[in-house]
């Protein structure tokens, strides 16, 4: 393999690594980090955990809504919830979700290549800036450029109300950000993070991390609340999300 080809391949890998580094603002390369906030007036027991989904007018005939409801139902089942007809349910569960695109600008160093005959390094002139004071080559950058990358913010809210009275008993919001432009691929991480350690105490704010396997999919390891004393929550396999 020629030096120029090696440089070109390294350039592509480095570019992907840079994007992955900003995929989630946490900067972690092995976890999806999700911010969670919960408000709770929960007093139910396992025996009363029956529910039905409630939909807005726009959600009534939505295939997307049904897809997300199936994912939520699977996760609720791990907390002893049973889905039943609305007339038999103790609780109604409402979902709201969104995705918003933005750009992040990163300042990067620019280097110059002392051996241009071997091809560019890292997609632009790269190499040593000059002979350093210590008798070796000076590795410092010749300047800096700003490069922008797309970032998408994924958000989910799960709201539970008492069916008989309409009283809100639990509301949890989850959000994360990264280079994934599909809400569907981010949704399993939002759902698992939102419902981990259910029910959370009123006013709980925390970050939940879910590990990825080496292929970028959801790991079989546990999802944990980063920086808290909370017990681990199970992390069943879900749709992979290509952000780390």
Query: Which residues of the chain fall short of a pLDDT of 70?
Result: 1-29, 112-140, 213-244
Q: Is residue 239, in this structure, part of any structural domain at all? A: no
| Domain membership flag for residue 108 | yes
Contact 175, 189 (CB under 8 A): no
43 belongs to a structural domain: yes
Q: Classify residue 244: in a domain, yes or no.
A: no
Residue 62 in any domain: the answer is yes
What is the distance between the alpha carbons of residues 24 and 242, in angstroms, rounded to a whole number? 11
Does residue 169 form part of some domain?
yes
* The predicted structure's pLDDT at residue 137: 54
In the chain, the number of structural domains is 1
Using DSSP's 3-state secondary structure scheme, residue 161 falls into strand
- Choose among 194, 240, 203, 204: nearest CA to 75: 194
Q: Is residue 24 part of a domain?
A: yes
Q: Identify whether 184 is part of a domain.
A: yes
Do the Cβ atoms of 104 and 153 come closer than 8 Å? Answer: no
The whole-number pLDDT of residue 22 equals 39
d(CA 109, CA 61): 51
How far is it, in rounded angstroms, from Cα 115 to Cα 130? 13
Domain ranges, residue 44: 3-226
The pLDDT value given to residue 9: 38
């Amino acid at each position: 393999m020629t030096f120029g080809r090696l440089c070109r391949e390294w350039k592509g890998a480095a570019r992907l690594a840079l994007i992955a580094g900003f995929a989630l603002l946490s900067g972690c390369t092995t976890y999806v980090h999700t911010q969670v906030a919960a408000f709770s007036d929960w007093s139910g027991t396992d025996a009363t955990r029956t529910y039905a989904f409630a939909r807005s007018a726009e959600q009534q005939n939505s295939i997307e809504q049904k897809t997300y409801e199936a994912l939520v139902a699977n996760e609720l089942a791990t907390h002893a919830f049973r889905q039943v007809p609305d007339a038999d349910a103790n609780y109604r569960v409402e979902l709201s979700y969104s995705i918003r695109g933005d750009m992040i600008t990163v300042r990067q160093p620019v280097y110059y290549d002392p051996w241009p005959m071997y091809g560019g390094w890292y997609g632009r002139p790269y190499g040593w800036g000059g002979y350093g004071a210590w008798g070796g080559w000076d590795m410092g950058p010749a300047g800096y450029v700003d490069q922008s990358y797309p970032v998408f913010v994924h958000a989910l809210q799960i709201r539970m109300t008492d069916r008989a009275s309409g009283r809100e008993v639990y509301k949890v919001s989850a959000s994360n950000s990264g280079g994934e432009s599909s809400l569907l691929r981010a949704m399993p991480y939002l759902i698992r993070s939102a419902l981990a350690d259910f029910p959370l105490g009123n006013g709980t704010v925390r970050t939940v991390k879910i590990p990825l396997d080496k292929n970028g999919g959801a790991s079989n390891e546990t999802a944990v609340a980063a920086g808290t004393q909370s017990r681990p929550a199970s992390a069943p396999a879900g749709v992979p999300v290509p952000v780390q």
